[in-house]
């Protein structure tokens, strides 16, 4: 079968695939269960497990929220309970599930099966529950250890529930764990996040205690929106670039893409909706609170959003969300694309992190109340967060840097590479009044007159939504909108927590001093707010973050603009910039150097894979299609000449194709030669790739696109944007 015949068959398959039927949980009478009746059925949380005595739960909770050590006796109780729970539901194996510096997850499965006195039993020991020993030499370590230093440890995370995952032939128990080296160095994403939670708890408690607000602990919470594309599986496997790199390295835009804004929140295709329904079902069984689903801006693009949860659990859940999207998509003959820019020229995919701080008493520290201008505690916390972003915006930019995210940041579809804070009109005016030493007089009418009696009256929020802001206040939380769709969220959350913790600790000292000196709590809070507003006012920007005017203005304000990943990553190893991370113990100096090396090497490797794939596709697809068509055109031109009738159209088309082909070939030769002469130094190499080779690859892609537009559809051997974005 020729490639063209295969492609045509794929087009037919994509438009004729039936919807997949899913098995919804039923009660004993065959009636569908409510989500609340089966939610979390595949999760095991020691705090809610019936198999664990209340006294033991209390001890385990104390261990998870303090420096108290876990006893082997209590671990044995949990191990026995979870093995009974898991095996009764069909599980045969367990694994320590961790998040190495690959950005994804890792697992090694061991059977519950064991032998005791020659008798077969199902068993999980306390030691196996608490600690595992994977081979650490094959995971990214950034040069922090040699190949023969292979030992690593996984350590059970008590704060994240265990869960069951199933395939066609069985189930496996997954135990969330941290991953550290033989010397205790964090080789994963989770460990620094857990450390940052300790820091934000201690700092926020100091802050609240200083103003006599009662709380036993404070946690950061996060709700992670996830964007993704779905394309038909046949088209995916017909595009080597999608398989190798996650994005199309070239492709001519369709005449209609997202210009009419008709896909966003539009009617969901039946086949896609069938996928979404099964996707939600699997998430509910895993105890992941999926709330929202909808079409996104670009054709073929979608989004899900969960209800908030503790940041560590949210980070684990998001890894499961991405894995579940991919797994369920295949069942519906789709492939899910998490890349930030799988299709050039249409909207890319992000991952908005909705972040807040809350106490065990139910207080959201970012809740403005009905009169935010008179809520001194709220204003002080917002000012603290603004100061944290002002100080450490460059580090936050580094935390979301990647080869794939570089295609979004700075484009007119995603937050710019300049980190700023959007507060909305009301809060900005309040802060300006504080800065200028003036009294704020609220004037907004929060009720909207829509000119009709048939509609329910709406109350306007204190803040609008600014889609161009990388860090925006959105009612009772901040939204970090610059994170990429494929990214693990643990790194930006760790850095955000640490940055805010640093300022909260300084604020607590300031408040303690002011109040001990005779100031009232109210006056001390307002003095603190003015201190940070005066300091960080340059970070506040409510305008259009996409505009060139803002780039110029941000430079005047002294805000960093790291346009590419190689520009951003050196912040990780700048001792002046990373001091807040090392002083708080969220990262060690060596751990930051490890991440810098790993991320730099990853950037280079991903780009080199892209360049190699691009060259291969040109030689195996583009040039053969062009040459075949040129032969046909030559025959037409010759036949016309022989018959005495010559047309200028075929000759002109031949010239245009020939020019584009020769130019393309020259550019490809240039790229191959440039790849051979890259610097040895990794950072210098990354900068050459970002500054020279990536633009060259985009120029090459443009010539491929021109040729695609001139070659007949039945001569082009690759699925086009029309196929991938519109055929379902």
Domain parsing of the chain, residue ranges: 1-30+226-248+259-349, 39-188, 194-221+365-440+462-587, 602-726
**CA pseudo-torsion sign 271, 272, 274, 279:** positive
Confidence of residue 461 (pLDDT cuts 50, 70, 90): low
- Interaxial angle between packed helices 190-210 and 575-584, expressed in degrees from 0 to 180 and rounded to the nearest 10: 80
Cα 713 from Cα 4, distance rounded (Å): 9
Nearest to 626 by CA among 553, 494, 715, 537: 715
Give the pLDDT confidence score for residue 246 in this predicted structure. 97
Give the pLDDT confidence score for residue 643 in this predicted structure. 86
State the residue for tokens 């003959």: 333
Confidence of residue 465 (pLDDT cuts 50, 70, 90): low
Helices (H), 65-115: 72-87
Nearest to 104 by CA among 574, 602, 460: 602
Cα 683 from Cα 596, distance rounded (Å): 10
Question: Mind giving me the DSSP string for 4-44?
Answer: HHHHHHHHHHHHHPPPPP----B-TTSPBPPHHHHTTTTEE
Q: Which two tokens stand for residue 513?
A: 């001093």
Confidence of residue 466 (pLDDT cuts 50, 70, 90): low
Identify the DSSP state of 106.
B
- Residue 419, classed as helix, strand or coil, is coil
Dihedral of the alpha carbons of 481, 485, 489, 495, in degrees to the nearest 10:
-40
Identify the DSSP state of 151.
B
E strands, 385-540, where?
A: 421-422, 471-473, 478-480
Q: CA distances (Å), 596 to each of 143, 566, 572, in order?
A: 10, 10, 6
- Residue 230, classed as helix, strand or coil, is strand
Q: Which two tokens stand for residue 525?
A: 């809070």
Give the pLDDT confidence score for residue 494 in this predicted structure. 98
| Low-confidence winner among 196-200, 332-336, 408-412, 717-721 (lowest mean pLDDT) | 408-412
Q: What's the pLDDT tens digit per position in 134-177?
A: 877 788 877 766 555 667 899 999 999 999 999 888 999 999 99
Q: Which residues contact 10 (CB under 8 A, 6 or more apart)?
A: 232, 234, 235, 238, 719, 723
Do residues 397 and 543 touch, judged by C-beta distance below 8 A?
A: no
Between 44 and 184, the more confident residue is 44
Do residues 350 and 484 touch, judged by C-beta distance below 8 A?
A: yes
Nearest to 186 by CA among 587, 487, 573, 602: 587
Instruction: Identify the H or E element spanning 486.
Output: none
Give the chain's mean pLDDT: 91
Give the pLDDT confidence score for residue 370 in this predicted structure. 84
Cα 466 from Cα 542, distance rounded (Å): 7
Nearest to 600 by CA among 495, 698, 697, 685: 685
Instruction: Reply yes or no on whether the pLDDT at 1 is more than 50.
Output: no
Give the pLDDT confidence score for residue 343 in this predicted structure. 96
The pair phi, psi for residue 223, each rounded to 5°, is: -120, 120
| 3-class DSSP string for 570-599 | HHHHCHHHHHHHHHHCCCCHHHHHHHHHHH
Q: Which two tokens stand for residue 400?
A: 């979301």
| Low-confidence winner among 269-278, 285-294, 465-474, 651-660 (lowest mean pLDDT) | 465-474
Give the pLDDT mean for 66-84: 90
Cα 577 from Cα 597, distance rounded (Å): 17
| 3-class DSSP string for 40-74 | CCCEECCCCCCCCCHHHHHHHHHHHCCCCCCCHHH
- pTM for the model stands at 0.94
Instruction: Reply yes or no on whether the pLDDT at 12 is more than 90.
Output: no
Instruction: Reply yes or no on whether the pLDDT at 362 is more than 60.
Output: yes
Instruction: Reply yes or no on whether the pLDDT at 617 is more than 50.
Output: yes
Burial class (CB in 10 A: 0-12, 13-18, 19+), 11: middle
Give the pLDDT confidence score for residue 590 in this predicted structure. 95
Give the pLDDT mean for 4-22: 78
Please calculate the CA angle 678-395-580 and round it to the nearest 5 degrees: 125
State the residue for tokens 């006599």: 212
Q: What's the pLDDT tens digit per position in 486-507?
A: 999 999 999 999 999 999 999 9
Do residues 478 and 419 touch, judged by C-beta distance below 8 A?
A: no
Q: CATH number of the domain at 602-726, please?
A: 1.20.120.1560
Are the folds of 39-188 and 602-726 the same?
Answer: no
Instruction: Reply yes or no on whether the pLDDT at 448 is more than 70.
Output: no
Nearest to 688 by CA among 567, 562, 593: 567
CATH entry 3.10.20.70 includes domain 39-188: yes
Q: Which two tokens stand for residue 97?
A: 């599930």
Confidence of residue 464 (pLDDT cuts 50, 70, 90): low
Give the pLDDT mean for 105-128: 91
| Low-confidence winner among 169-173, 270-274, 446-450 (lowest mean pLDDT) | 446-450
Give the pLDDT mean for 120-134: 90
Strand order, beta sheet including 226-232 = 290-295, 301-306, 226-232, 334-337
CATH architecture of 1-30+226-248+259-349: 2-Layer Sandwich (3.30)
Confidence of residue 39 (pLDDT cuts 50, 70, 90): very high
Q: Which two tokens stand for residue 180?
A: 């550290």
Give the pLDDT confidence score for residue 203 in this predicted structure. 98
Which residues, listed in sequence order, are joined to residue 221 by a DSSP beta bridge? 310, 356
Instruction: Reply yes or no on whether the pLDDT at 373 is more than 50.
Output: yes
Q: What's the pLDDT tens digit per position in 520-573?
A: 999 999 999 999 999 999 999 999 998 889 999 999 999 999 999 999 999 999
Instruction: Reply yes or no on whether the pLDDT at 125 is more than 90.
Output: yes
Give the pLDDT mean for 209-219: 96
Give the pLDDT confidence score for residue 374 in this predicted structure. 84
Number of H helices, E strands in the chain: 23, 19
Q: What's the pLDDT tens digit per position in 178-190?
A: 999 888 899 999 9
């Amino acid at each position: 079968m020729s490639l063209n015949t295969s492609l045509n068959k794929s087009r037919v398959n994509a438009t004729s695939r039936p919807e997949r039927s899913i098995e919804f949980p039923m009660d004993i009478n065959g009636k569908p269960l409510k989500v609340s009746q089966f939610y979390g059925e595949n999760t095991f949380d020691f705090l809610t497990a019936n198999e664990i005595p209340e006294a033991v739960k209390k001890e385990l909770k104390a261990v998870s929220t303090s420096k108290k050590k876990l006893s082997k006796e209590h671990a044995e109780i949990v191990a026995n309970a979870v093995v009974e729970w898991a095996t009764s539901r069909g599980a045969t194996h367990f694994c320590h599930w961790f998040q190495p510096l690959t950005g994804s997850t890792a697992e090694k499965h061991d059977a519950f099966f064991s032998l005791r006195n020659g008798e077969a039993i199902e068993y999980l020991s306390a030691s196996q529950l608490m600690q595992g020993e994977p081979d650490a030499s094959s995971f990214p370590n950034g040069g922090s250890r040699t190949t023969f230093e292979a030992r690593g440890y996984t350590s059970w995370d008590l704060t994240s529930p265990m869960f069951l995952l199933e395939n066609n032939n069985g189930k496996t128990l997954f135990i969330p764990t941290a991953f550290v080296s033989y010397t205790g160095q964090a080789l994963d994403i989770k460990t620094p996040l857990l450390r940052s939670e300790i820091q934000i708890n201690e700092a926020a408690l100091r802050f609240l205690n200083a103003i006599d607000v009662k709380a036993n602990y404070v946690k950061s919470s996060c709700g992670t929106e996830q964007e993704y594309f779905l394309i038909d599986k046949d088209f995916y496997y017909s595009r080597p670039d999608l398989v190798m790199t996650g994005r199309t390295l070239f492709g001519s835009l369709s005449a209609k893409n997202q210009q009419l804004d008709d896909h966003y929140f539009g009617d969901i295709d039946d086949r896609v909706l069938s996928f979404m329904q099964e996707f939600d079902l699997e998430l509910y069984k895993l105890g992941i609170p999926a709330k929202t689903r909808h079409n996104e801006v670009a054709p073929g693009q979608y989004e899900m959003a969960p209800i908030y949860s503790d940041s560590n659990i949210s980070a684990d859940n998001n890894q499961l969300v991405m894995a579940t999207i991919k797994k369920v998509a295949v069942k519906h003959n789709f492939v899910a694309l998490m890349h930030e820019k799988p299709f050039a020229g249409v909207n890319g995919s992000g991952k908005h992190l909705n972040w807040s701080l809350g106490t065990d008493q139910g207080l959201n520290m970012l809740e403005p109340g009905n009169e935010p201008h008179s809520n001194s505690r709220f204003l002080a916390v917002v000012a603290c967060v603004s100061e944290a972003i002002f100080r450490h915006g460059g580090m936050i930019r580094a935390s979301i840097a990647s080869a794939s995210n570089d295609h979004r940041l700075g484009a007119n579809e995603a937050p710019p590479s300049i980190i700023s804070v959007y507060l909305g009109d009301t809060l900005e005016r309040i802060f300006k009044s504080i800065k200028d030493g003036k009294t704020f007089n609220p004037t907004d009418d929060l009720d909207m007159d829509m000119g009709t009696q048939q509609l329910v009256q709406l109350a306007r929020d204190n803040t609008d939504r600014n889609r161009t802001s990388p860090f925006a206040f959105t009612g009772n939380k901040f939204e970090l909108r610059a994170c990429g769709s494929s990214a693990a969220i643990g790194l930006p959350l760790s850095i955000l927590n640490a940055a805010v913790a640093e300022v909260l600790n300084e604020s607590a000292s300031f408040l303690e001093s002011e109040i001990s000196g005779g100031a009232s709590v109210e006056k001390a809070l307002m003095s603190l707010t003015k201190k940070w507003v005066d300091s960080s006012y340059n970070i506040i920007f409510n305008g259009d973050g996409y505009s060139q005017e803002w780039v110029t203005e941000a430079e005047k304000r002294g805000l960093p603009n790291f346009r590419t990943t190689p520009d951003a990553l050196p912040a990780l190893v700048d001792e002046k910039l990373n001091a807040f991370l090392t002083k708080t113990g969220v990262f060690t100096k060596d751990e930051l150097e490890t991440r810098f090396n790993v991320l730099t090497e990853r950037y280079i490797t991903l780009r080199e894979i892209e360049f190699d794939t691009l060259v291969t596709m040109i030689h195996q697809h583009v040039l053969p299609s062009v040459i075949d068509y040129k032969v046909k055109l030559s025959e037409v031109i010759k036949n016309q000449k022989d018959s005495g009738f010559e047309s200028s159209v075929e000759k002109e088309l031949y010239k245009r194709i020939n020019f584009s082909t020769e130019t393309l070939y020259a550019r490809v030769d240039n790229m191959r030669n440039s790849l051979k002469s890259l610097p040895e130094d990794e950072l210098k190499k990354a900068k050459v790739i970002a500054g020279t080779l990536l633009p060259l690859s985009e120029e090459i892609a443009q010539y491929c696109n021109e040729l695609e537009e001139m070659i007949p559809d039945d001569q082009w051997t690759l699925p086009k944007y029309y196929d991938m974005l519109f055929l379902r």
